[in-house]
Amino acid sequence: MEKSERENYRGAGKIAAKALRIGCEEADEGVKLIDVARSIENYIKEMDANIAFPVNISINEIAAHYTPGYNDERKFKSGDLVKLDVGAHIEGYIGDTARSFVTGVPKENEIELINCSQRALNGALKAIRAGITLNEIGGIVENICRAQGFVSVRNLSGHSLEKFNLHSGISVPNFANGDLTKIREGIAIAIEPFATDGKGMVTEKEYGNIYRYRYRQRGNNEHSQEDPLMEIIRSYRGLPFAERWLYDLEGKRVRAKMRRLVSKGILTGYRVLVEKKNGYVAQSEHTVLVNKHGCEVTTR
């Protein structure tokens, strides 16, 4: 990895970490989700970084892929197990980080679940170095979760990161999946254990107001350059974006328009991922740069 890339990863990581802290401080019982999302995203922009994906605010049995819609009135409630997942990038180099917490009064298991995902992340971070296999990292996460009476979510994983590519080639499993691929020195990866008191699997439900432009889809270059909507969408460079970011341009038509672009195959729409037995889910995530003897966490 070149020095300038490393510096961009570090800068983006630092900004994502601070944005996440801002969100965690603001989120509370009675506060609107959309206000927290805006505070986080505004901070990233104020720091002259870019938003790598819409803030995911996923609550209780929802594991991921929900961001407030343009007209979202939803508020945090007492006992909500909240996962905030934040991404910032500088010139395409991404910091991706997440944390879980409870708003109001915690319910049974919630704090233990959060501690479990945090311990699993710490265990993986301690072990990671060039040459370790994906299977070994997955096994560490799986065992730590099991030792605390929970299970890791098997069909969610960490991932390698590349310039303007949030999920590049490598998937970092949250269980020992037998993948003997070795992690190489100099790559950037996000480690993100999800712990649950449910089945340990998530399933797709309704759209979560997050979309992504399908660059490689045939025919996607046919839109006229003057179409302001497509121009904005292309400016995200294939990274995920939120419906509400386009509200100023499209007004209330925005949701219908996004769905139409999904049905035409121009956009991918993300669906919220819900635990199969409606178990509660906690997530902890850091982005790291792998080196010979360990790793450097960029999102602290």
Provide the minimum distance between the beta carbon of 111 and Mn ion in the complex, in angstroms, as a whole number: 22
- Given 26, 91, 167, 185, which residue is catalytic? 167
Measured from the CB atom, is 52 or 151 closer to Mn ion?
52
Q: Are 289 and 160 in contact (CB under 8 A)?
A: no
Measured from the CB atom, is 102 or 156 closer to Mn ion?
156
CA dihedral 265, 205, 140, 114 (to 10 degrees): 130
Q: Which residues in 197-256 contact Mn ion (CB under 5 A)?
A: none
The site that binds Mn ion (CB under 5 A) totals a number of residues, namely 5
Which residue is listed with tokens 């490393």? Answer: 6
- Asked whether position 297 contacts Mn ion by CB under 5 A, the answer is no
Alpha helix (H) residue ranges in 106-167:
110-127, 134-147
Separation between Cα atoms, residue 105 and residue 167, nearest integer Å: 35
Number of Cβ atoms within 10 Å of the Cβ of 165: 15
Provide the minimum distance between the beta carbon of 223 and Mn ion in the complex, in angstroms, as a whole number: 30
Measured from the CB atom, is 80 or 96 closer to Mn ion?
96
Provide the minimum distance between the beta carbon of 225 and Mn ion in the complex, in angstroms, as a whole number: 32
- Given 80, 110, 243, 285, which residue is catalytic? 285
Q: What does the per-residue mask of binding to Mn ion show for 82-121, with x meaning CB under 5 A?
A: ---x----------x-x-----------------------
Q: Which residues in 34-93 contact Mn ion (CB under 5 A)?
A: 85
- Asked whether position 161 contacts Mn ion by CB under 5 A, the answer is no
Provide the minimum distance between the beta carbon of 295 and Mn ion in the complex, in angstroms, as a whole number: 15
263 burial via Cβ count (<10 Å: 0-12, 13-18, 19+):
exposed
Confirm whether 80 is a catalytic residue: no
Separation between Cα atoms, residue 289 and residue 265, nearest integer Å: 34
Geometric angle at alpha carbon 248, from 222 and 68, rounded to 5°: 100
Separation between Cα atoms, residue 284 and residue 29, nearest integer Å: 21
Distances (CA, A) of 132 to 126, 127, 184, 211, 235: 11, 8, 8, 34, 37
Confirm whether 197 is a catalytic residue: no
Provide the minimum distance between the beta carbon of 142 and Mn ion in the complex, in angstroms, as a whole number: 18
Confirm whether 85 is a catalytic residue: yes
Measured from the CB atom, is 98 or 116 closer to Mn ion?
98
Q: Which residues in 168-197 contact Mn ion (CB under 5 A)?
A: 190
Catalytic residues: 85, 96, 159, 167, 192, 285
Kindly list the residues in this chain that would bind Mn ion in the complex (CB under 5 A).
85, 96, 98, 190, 285
